[in-house]
Structures are given as structure tokens and as C-alpha cells.
A and B are shown apart, each in its own frame.
Chain A
Amino acid sequence: MGAVRFAMRNLWRDLKSGELAVLVLALTVAVLSLTAVGFFTGRISQGVHAQATEVLAADLRLESPNPLPERYFTAAEARGLRTARTLSFPTAIFNGDQSQLAALNAVGRGYPLRGHMRISDTPFGKARATDRIPAQGEIWLDARIIAQLKVPLGAALKIGAASFRVAEVLDYRPDQGTGFVNLAPAALMNAADVPATGLIQPGSRVTYAALFAGPPAAVAEFRQYLVTSKSPGERLREIDESSRQLNSAIDRATRFLSLASLASVLLAAVAVAMGARRYAARHVDTVALMKCMGASQAFVLAISAIELMLLAVAAVAAGAALGYLAQEGLAWVLRDFIRTELPPASLAPVPVALATVIAMLLGFALPPLLQLKNTPPARVLRKSVSAPPLAGGSSYLLALAALTAILWILVRDTELVLAMLAGVLGVGLVLTVAGYGLVQLTGRLRGGVGVAWRYGLANVSRRGLGSVVQIVAFGLGLMLLLLLAVVRGDLLADWRSSLPADAPNNFLVNIRPDERGAVRSFLKTHGMGEPAMFPMVRARITAINGMPSASIKLPKDQGRGFLEREQNLTWSDGLMEDNQLIAGRWWTADERGKPLVSISTEYQESLQLHMGDQLTFDVAGESLTVKVASIRKIRWDSFRPNFFLVFPPGLLDGAAGTYMTSVYLTPEQRPALVDLVRAFPTVSVFDVDAILRQIREIMDRASLAVQYVFLFTLAAGIVVLLAAVQSTRDERRYESAMLRTLGARRATVLQGVAAEFSALGFLSGTLAAFGATGIGWVLARRVFSLQFTLDPAVWLIGIVCGTLLVGLSGTLAARRVVNTPPIATLRDE
């Protein structure tokens, strides 16, 4: 019936009277932070995603040993996608009687669809981006080929039956890959020149690739088409499998951004809970009167629920509009840092914000409203009569359910949700218990202090439960802010340390066993250090627990790849630096030569292996069966050489074909590579500088976004404080009036208020620093797999900022109350 109309009139009256200010502010700030973060992180992660697609030079890439049928290109173009073709095969390039094995890539118009190639004018020189591809008759060569063949730019070279002019030094192709598939240095030519070379014959080892890119929806739809219509020999490559290193970095960035946005939302939820309690407290007399006049409980609940829902919708609209502006502002501020164009913001965060706000209201605002509807009508005659608390702790259950729902809506990661939930609840509990203790203690301390402090401290202990609630609220707020500071600091430090400035940027592969010593001394002489050398053996898995690999059914494509393709194996005495054992144990010196293998988690998950499984490999024609002795988690983003499969020493000694190592080269040292390649013609140098740069860029972007998010968390924290001050406003007004009537000076009353808030801030700050350190440790160790360092600054910042922030803002917010003439207050009572 008229509940909606009644609620709307009521809402209007409440808004006019300013009663809903804190609640509106809390909801709006929640939505503002949620949507601004959502819009911006959405754009950033789309940007990061776009960057990741560079690794394919496309959004989708279909590869095949046979020419790809025209129908794929027609179908893609019909869906509005851009297409390009490439083909690659190994071939020898001749300069006179000197030759060099090269991976020849022939590219067609439009290549690359994502990212840019880089070229330079001198071998290993400074590179620049280009949008063109080699013209017909031109060849672009990797610096190593130019060094090896001693061919200057502009000279002519013969490839197959055709002759080409060396036009550019090829520095980087987006799809050059980070694996070690293309050991030979690359040469790039126009696809139209391929027939003239006459190199493609039946049986040639050619890889044809079709590249597709376009709007995400069209790409997704076309992907489905390819999955259902591609032939068995054709392999669809997507971003997800393109680069483990990139994925690892993106994964961390996204997790961390979710965590950051979550902090603001949780703080806002605290503010909403306090705002709703205030709403209920302010309406309790009205509700008693309405029930006295015949309003039913359902009607009372409906009015407040509708009022809050209307508020929620308004807050979502206003907050989302502000959020949109805020993220536009951020994009503008960061325009110099974000070099690529960010995609436009999608509206996806708006329904997420609405769902979160509804969960917040149901969990944090509903309990006071449920209690409000139970207000006894007899309150109109006796003020001391109030509603009984909700039965069976249902308000806590509602809050817990809402908290879990919010965490899930925003994070969608069970482990992180559980860690956050345990952290927030654990600290809430600790704060509550500690808060009780401290409130009691403060009551005892007041004997030895001046009148203002005595009044302030007496207030802390007299308000009892109220003080505990405030300590818990401030403590949680401060804890989340500190947590963000702790985890953020540690995460950024870890990112930096996982990718130090001297992270290896060149891999040397194909080092012959007899060249090992010579290569090592070359590196040492040229100041490139003495890096570890890893033996490399090519092998293919043929059976798991006796079952031939051809007959094994697997759910994922990656596992199929592991079964079908040769893998690089190595052996090692000890566990590699970036590896962490998660099952089994590492072999001892006595187990040298035993048929054991240590596998990576990727290998284990893809092939669904277990400890003790028997794996059979074909190593250079010989069959070798080994037992899974351990499982390792590898940090791929360290950029040091790592292997899916590691054997104990002594088992494969005879089979090692080559060795590999990785070194860091400064730009000045790069020309020495020319000498290295000349001295050791079989050694291939694999330059990962470009991909390293790409990853650093992604990390920088993510950390900037996180710092921005921090501002919203701070704003939400301030709203919590305002809500807390607001919640004791009426009581404070009356007390202040009474004290001043009794002759207290205004300054004395104000000092008392300052003492009370400073004490609350000090207590909350101490507890928050404790909580943030604890949760930071759990998150760093368990979720992000980082080293956690105890930061004393957290304690200092927590206590000092807690005392100052709460003390100052509390006093400022309560100042107006103290300044109200006592007579005005007492008349109202």
C-alpha cells in the first residue's frame, strides 16, 4: 500500500533534516571507491591484457604445419576481425661461402596485429619501433646473423634461389616468444617473396600461422568457431598459455588491486553499520509513536528498508558518476606514464557496486532495522523501554554472511576470501577483547590526571560497549589502511627484487659440452660474471604408469602439449633458487643416478600426476623410466633458467647434448655478444631484455593504480570516523550542556573530548598495527608467496596516526556540539 509513498516522504523529510548525511556519505564513498577502482582497474587490466596479447602479435593465433584454409580468414573478416599471416621455417642463409642457420619468418600485410616490431641501424644497437614490414626483396636480420656472416646493412644475401638486400637489424618481434623453441636467430622477409626462394617443398618443416584480432566479443565468438571447426593438426594459441611469466605478473597485479579495492569497501561497510545504528537510534521514538498509532512491525520495517534501498540506488548513481570522473582524472594524471592507449571503461563495475551495496545494507544495516521494528510502543510512556537485542546473534550472522558475499563478489578467490575473512574476524575479536580490557584499564587510570583528561578517560570507560565498538571500528579501519601499506610495500619490494635491475637479460643456449670452459672464461673476461650452467637434454614422455601417452585422455590442452612435444630436461644436485618444494623431498648425494624425477606444478597439474607415478621418457632413442620424487613450484617471473623436469645427476650424463646459462648484460656490454657469437658459432644468444621491459612496465602500472586506490581507502576511513563521532553526538551534546551549565569552561570540555578521542585513537592504533602485521604476514607468506619483513614503521605510523587522526578529527567533529549554547540543548531535551 502506501509504504512506498510513505517511505519516500519519510526519506525526503530525513534528508531535509540532515539525519541521513553520514549514511549517504558512507554509501556514496563506498560506491565511489568501488566504481572508480573498478572502472580504472578494469581499464588497466584490459590494457595489461592488451599488452599480453602482444606476445601472440594477435588476440588469437592458429598454427599448423600445413597451409591454413582460406575459410578461416573469410570467417574472421565476416566477424569484423583483422587478420594477418605468417610462416616460419629453419633455413641456412649464405654470404659467399659462409652460412648461418636462421629461423626465417615470412610475414604478410597487417603483421603484427598487436604490438610493434623494433629495428635498429647497427647490430645490438639502440632500437626503434616500426609499423612497417619488410618490402619485397628486403630482409631484416637478427644482430647475431649479421655478426656471424659479417654482412653490412645494404649488402645482398642469398636465401634459397632468391637474393635479398639486408635492410634493417631486427631487434624485437612481439611473437618471438619467451620459450626456447626458436634457438636459431631470426630473419624476417615479406611473405610474397617466399615462392621465389623455392625453399618450401613437400616435407619442409614449416609452421603456418593465422593471426586474428578485433573487439573482445567478436574474438570470443570467433574463438568458439575455431575450437569447433579447426582440424586436429591445427593448434589454437591464446593469451592464457602465451607466457607464464606475464601471466604470473598479471595474476599478482589483479589480486593486489582486488585486495586494495576490498579495503575501501570493508571500511565503508563499517561506516554503513554505524550510520544505520545512528539511523535506528534517531528513529526509535518515531517508530514507538507510529506503533502506538497502529503501525505494524512489517510496515515499520518496510518503510526503513525502502528508504535505505532508495538511498542505495541514489548512492550507486551518484557514487558511480563520481567514480567515473575520478578514474578519468586518474587516467589524465597518469597520461605520461601510460604509453599505450587505455581502452574505454566498461559499465561492469556498476552492477558489482549495486550488488555490494545491497549486501552491505543487508548485512550491516538490516540488523539495527530489525531491532528498530521491535521497538516496544510503551516507549512513548517510558524512555527507558527499548527493543530487545536480536535473538541468537543473528545480527552477527547477517554481517558475516554479507562480509563473505562482499569478499566473494570482489575477489572471487577462495583462498584470499578465507584469509581476509579470518583476518578481519580474528582482528575484530582480538580488538573486542583487548578493547574491553583497555576500557577497564583507562577507567582506573583517571585518578592521576587533570580534570579534562579525567572527564575524557572517564567517558571512554563509562561508554563501555560504545567505546569498544568505536575502538573496533577505528582499529579495523586503521588496520586495513596499514595492511595496505604493509602488504603493498612488501609486494612492491618483492616485485622489484624478483626482477632486480641486473636480472638475466640474455640466455646462452646450445653450448657444447667441450665449449663450456671456454664460454665461462669468455664471460668472466668480459665482466659478465660466472653464471651456473645447466645441462640440457631433449626428451619426450612416452608413458605414464605404463600407459602409452597416445592413449591418455586429458582435460586441458596444455597437458596434450606436454605429451606430444619434446621437453628440455636437466639435472641438478640441489634445488634451484626460484623453486620451492611443495611435495616429496629433494634427492640426497646417495641417490645420484637413481631413476627419479622432480616435476613442476604446471607439469603435475596438466598431466594430473601424483607422487610416486612412473614416467617413461624417450631420451635420444633410449627408454628411461623414472619415479616422481618431488613436486616444485617455480617462480617463472625470476627470469632465471628453469625446467619442468629435473633429474638427479648421474642418470643422463651421457645424453646431455648441450648446456645453457643466463647472464645480465649492460647496454655497453651488448656489443661483446658479436665477439661471443663469432668465437662460438653454435652458441645461440637469446635476448629477453624486451620482455623484461614489458613486465616491468606492467608492474609499474599496477603499482600506480594501487597507490591511487589507497586514496579511496583513506576517504572511506575518514567516513568511518565521522560515523563514529556522529553516533555519540546526542549524548555528547547533552553532556557538554550539563557540564557548561555546571560552570565548566568551553575549553575544558573540548580538552576532555580531545582526551577521549586521543585515547581511543591510541588504543585503536596499537591494536591495528598488531593486526596489520599479523595479517600481512599471513597474506605475504600464504597468498603471495613473498618474504615478509617486520616493518617497525607500521607500529609507529599506526600509533601516531591513530592518535592524531582520531584525536583531531574526533575533536573537530565534536566541536560544534560543544559550542552549542547549553540552553538550546537543554530546552530540546
Chain B
Amino acid sequence: MQDQIVLEAIGVSKTVASPEGPLTILADVTLRVRAGESLAIVGASGAGKSTLLALLAGLDLPSTGRVLISGADLTELSEDGRAAIRAKHVGFVFQSFHLIPSLTAVENVMLPLELGGRSDARAVATEALGQVGLAARLAHYPKQLSGGEQQRVAIARAFVTHPAVLFADEPTGNLDTTTGQRIAELLFDLNSRTANTLVLVTHDRSLAGRCSRILELDAGHTVS
């Protein structure tokens, strides 16, 4: 199980059109991530971290190269096909939480379950919010929650479907140091308990240091 490769990028590049001509924002990245492993992607602003995350999660397509999640080649799938893979295998935590403002905490956590057609969405979501310490905040709307609480809801939402791979984009970037540390604790704790794979994009070297592996990007190229 531990040796199984759940996420693989082979020669992945991304080139976009710009007024000055084609611009390569990611060049020939190859990586393999095993089940249960945690990978930190680090680098300066504009190094291509978020682009790589988008490609690994199938949110975008590479200009060249292939990306595989649990053996499925994302580059050969349609947008709906990639969405189906995400629904089944992938969870997300974002820097700006991305909670839906018109939904309560529990409704936000229910969303991926409902999309997956689960009829027990409310019960499962309630339990997940309990696990992140928000059992008393079920009916609160995002704007009634603090930043840390909002990120907890987002983490509960990410884990509630037991994804094989969890992508986290600067999960503590919008939080103060203390809250950020608590959120990081929660994230790694849940990661070790569920034994899923964690791919973490961050500026924060200490946070990256908690991962089993670090991939550093510089101007779209892999440094280590």
C-alpha cells in the first residue's frame, strides 16, 4: 500500500500566450508521490507552485506531459472525466478558504457529499465538523466565523469524502501565526489518521519541513 503511486507527473510543462510571445511558466516537471506520503511544493512568488498544483489536481491541462491520479491519465480525460476523478479521489484546502457564503458551515461540508450523491450527507458532515472542533458552529454562516474557524470548515469539507490525495494551497497563508500553527496541526493530524496523500503548496519553510518530501521550484523549473 505504502509503495503504491497515487500521483504522478511525467514531463509536465505549461506554456501560456503573453503579449511578448509564449511564456513557459512550468518546464518539464516529473514527480511521483506514493500513498500516504506528504509532499511540499515550495518556491518564491511566480515560481509556478499554484500552476503545478492546478495541473496535478486536473484543474488545468499541461501543454505537454502527463498527469496520473490513481493510475488514471488526466490528460486523456475530458473535463467531466477529470471532475469525476476529483470527486472520487481528490480533496482541496485553499488559502482563502473558498467557503460558499450563502451556505452554513454544515451545508458547506455537505456539498462534496451531495455532489457524490450521498443521502446521509448531513449526518456525515456533522460528524466531520465535530472532528475539527466545530460541533457548536454547524448553523453558522462563513461570515459569522473567524478565519481559523473558516479554514477548519474547509478542512472538514476536504476530508469528509476520504480522498486519496489532498491538495492544500497555502492553507495557513491567510491566518495569524498561532491560528496557522493550529490549522497545520489539524491538517497533519487528519492526514496521518486517514493515511491519505498530502500535496502542500507553501511559502512557509517550517510548514514544508513537516512534510516527508520537498519539491522546490524556481521560475518553473525543479530545483530539488
Chain A positions near chain B (C-beta within 8 angstroms): 1-2, 6, 13-14, 16-17, 19, 285-286, 289-299, 376-378, 380-382, 828
Bound-state Cα–Cα, A572 to B115, Å: 82
Contact of A296 among B84, B94, B98, B114 (CB under 8 A): B84
- Interface residue ranges of B139-173 to A (CB < 8 Å): 143, 169
Closest residue of B by beta carbon distance from A285: B98
Number of residue pairs A-B, CB distance < 8 angstroms: 75
Check if A286 sits within 8 Å of B100, measured CB to CB.
yes
Check if A290 sits within 8 Å of B59, measured CB to CB.
no
- Of the stretches B85-93, B177-185, B214-222, the one at the interface is B85-93
Interface membership of B24, Cβ < 8 A? no
Bound-state Cα–Cα, A299 to B80, Å: 10
What sequence of 0s and 1s flags, for each residue 44-57 of chain B, a beta carbon within 8 Å of any chain A beta carbon? Answer: 00000010011001
Chain B interface bracket (under 10, 10 to 19, 20 to 34, 35 or more): 20 to 34
In the complex, which residues of chain A have a beta carbon less than 8 angstroms from the beta carbon of B143? Answer: 828
Knowing A296-B84, A380-B59, A382-B50, the reply to whether A13 touches B102 (Cβ < 8 A) is: yes
Interface membership of B127, Cβ < 8 A? no
Interface membership of B112, Cβ < 8 A? yes
4 closest cross-chain pairs (CB), A and B: A294-B87, A378-B59, A17-B102, A296-B80
Closest residue of A by beta carbon distance from B84: A294
Check if B54 sits within 8 Å of A295, measured CB to CB.
no
Closest residue of A by beta carbon distance from B99: A289
A-B contacts besides A13-B103, A380-B59, 6 pairs, CB < 8 Å: A293-B86, A294-B86, A294-B90, A377-B60, A378-B60, A381-B169
Contact of A380 among B83, B84, B92 (CB under 8 A): B92
Bound-state Cα–Cα, A295 to B54, Å: 16
In the complex, which residues of chain A have a beta carbon less than 8 angstroms from the beta carbon of B71? Answer: none
Bound-state Cα–Cα, A297 to B83, Å: 9
Check if A289 sits within 8 Å of B100, measured CB to CB.
yes
Check if A2 sits within 8 Å of B117, measured CB to CB.
yes
Check if B115 sits within 8 Å of A381, measured CB to CB.
no
Check if A294 sits within 8 Å of B88, measured CB to CB.
yes
Check if B102 sits within 8 Å of A14, measured CB to CB.
yes
- 14 residue pairs A–B, Cβ–Cβ below 8 Å: A13-B102, A16-B102, A19-B102, A286-B100, A289-B98, A290-B115, A292-B59, A294-B86, A294-B87, A294-B112, A294-B115, A376-B59, A380-B92, A380-B94
Bound-state Cα–Cα, A828 to B79, Å: 31
Interface membership of B111, Cβ < 8 A? yes
Interface membership of B116, Cβ < 8 A? yes
Contact of B54 among A6, A293, A381 (CB under 8 A): A381
What sequence of 0s and 1s flags, for each residue 116-134 of chain B, a beta carbon within 8 Å of any chain A beta carbon? Answer: 1100000000000000000
Check if A296 sits within 8 Å of B59, measured CB to CB.
no
Nearest CB of B to A298, in Å: 7
Bound-state Cα–Cα, A290 to B98, Å: 11
Check if A378 sits within 8 Å of B102, measured CB to CB.
no
Check if A377 sits within 8 Å of B59, measured CB to CB.
yes
Bound-state Cα–Cα, A641 to B117, Å: 78
Check if B98 sits within 8 Å of A293, measured CB to CB.
no
Check if B116 sits within 8 Å of A294, measured CB to CB.
yes
Knowing A6-B114, A294-B115, the reply to whether A376 touches B83 (Cβ < 8 A) is: no
In the complex, which residues of chain B have a beta carbon less than 8 angstroms from the beta carbon of A298? Answer: 80
Bound-state Cα–Cα, A6 to B121, Å: 12
The residue in A19, A293, A296 that gathers the most chain B C-beta atoms within 10 A of its C-beta is A293
Nearest CB of A to B48, in Å: 12
In the complex, which residues of chain A have a beta carbon less than 8 angstroms from the beta carbon of B111? Answer: 289-290, 293
Check if A380 sits within 8 Å of B114, measured CB to CB.
no
In the complex, which residues of chain A have a beta carbon less than 8 angstroms from the beta carbon of B83? Answer: 291, 294-297, 377
Check if A2 sits within 8 Å of B92, measured CB to CB.
no
In the complex, which residues of chain B have a beta carbon less than 8 angstroms from the beta carbon of A380? Answer: 59, 92, 94, 98
Bound-state Cα–Cα, A415 to B80, Å: 46
In the complex, which residues of chain A have a beta carbon less than 8 angstroms from the beta carbon of B87? Answer: 293-295
Check if B79 sits within 8 Å of A1, measured CB to CB.
no
Bound-state Cα–Cα, A17 to B154, Å: 21
Closest residue of B by beta carbon distance from A295: B115
Closest residue of B by beta carbon distance from A10: B102
In the complex, which residues of chain A have a beta carbon less than 8 angstroms from the beta carbon of B169? Answer: 381
In the complex, which residues of chain B have a beta carbon less than 8 angstroms from the beta carbon of A290? Answer: 111, 115
Bound-state Cα–Cα, A382 to B86, Å: 18
Bound-state Cα–Cα, A291 to B98, Å: 13
In the complex, which residues of chain A have a beta carbon less than 8 angstroms from the beta carbon of B88? Answer: 294
Nearest CB of B to A283, in Å: 10
Bound-state Cα–Cα, A195 to B84, Å: 93
Closest residue of A by beta carbon distance from B90: A294
Check if A376 sits within 8 Å of B102, measured CB to CB.
no
Bound-state Cα–Cα, A289 to B100, Å: 9
Bound-state Cα–Cα, A377 to B167, Å: 14
Bound-state Cα–Cα, A6 to B114, Å: 8
Check if B59 sits within 8 Å of A299, measured CB to CB.
no
Closest residue of A by beta carbon distance from B100: A286
In the complex, which residues of chain A have a beta carbon less than 8 angstroms from the beta carbon of B114? Answer: 2, 6
Contact of B50 among A285, A376, A381 (CB under 8 A): A381
The residue in A13, A16, A289, A292 that gathers the most chain B C-beta atoms within 10 A of its C-beta is A292
- Interface residue ranges of B19-78 to A (CB < 8 Å): 50, 53-54, 57, 59-60
Check if B92 sits within 8 Å of A292, measured CB to CB.
yes
Closest residue of B by beta carbon distance from A17: B102
Nearest CB of B to A483, in Å: 40
Closest residue of B by beta carbon distance from A299: B115
